[in-house]
Amino acid sequence: MQIVIDANVLMSMLIKPDEPIDSFFDSRLSLFAPQLLFEELENNKEEVMEKSRLNGEEFEWLNLILKHNITIIPEEEFLKYRERADNICPDPKDIVYFALALYLNCAIWSNEKKLKEQPKIMVYATHELMELLNIN
């Protein structure tokens, strides 16, 4: 299953040890993201490190693992979907994720409830995705 992963999912998994990180490594998922995802992660690095109790080296190691498991699609590849995404995305800061989902014709993995307030793109929260994949 192809799915666009939102930065809030990654940050939750890094910050909350009770979040099921197994779903991130499930072989049935092909994860995609815009470069923005890693920019958001880097912009929130200090907060993530503080809340997760990771040191700088551990954070960088996890960042490498994430980059290995997520296919980054350059924004110029899906730029033509941005206007359409702008018309349906309930949150302006997530337009790029919607544009990528439209380009790939797939769902979004996000824990932001607000993103479900539109009928065009399926948005799965972590618990919904786990249920769909039968991950306990």
CB 9 within 8 A of CB 40: no
Residue 52 structure tokens: 């997760």
pLDDT on residue 21: 63
What is the value of pTM for the model shown? 0.90
Residue 82 sits at φ, ψ, to 5 deg, of -65, -45
pLDDT tens-digit profile of 9-64? 888 888 875 555 666 677 889 999 999 999 998 999 999 889 888 898 988 988 89
pLDDT at 102 over 70: yes
Phi, psi of 3 (to 5 degrees): -155, 140
Which pLDDT belongs to residue 6?
A: 94
pLDDT of 74 reads 95
| Mean pLDDT of all residues in 100-110 | 97
The answer, yes or no, to whether residue 87 has pLDDT greater than 60, is yes
- Give pLDDT tens digits for 50-66: 988 889 898 898 889 88
Phi and psi dihedrals of 110, rounded to 5?
-150, 145
Instruction: List the chain domain ranges.
Output: 2-132
3-state per-residue secondary structure call for 46-71: HHHHHHHCCCHHHHHHHHHHHHHHEE
CATH topology of domain 2-132: Rossmann fold (3.40.50)
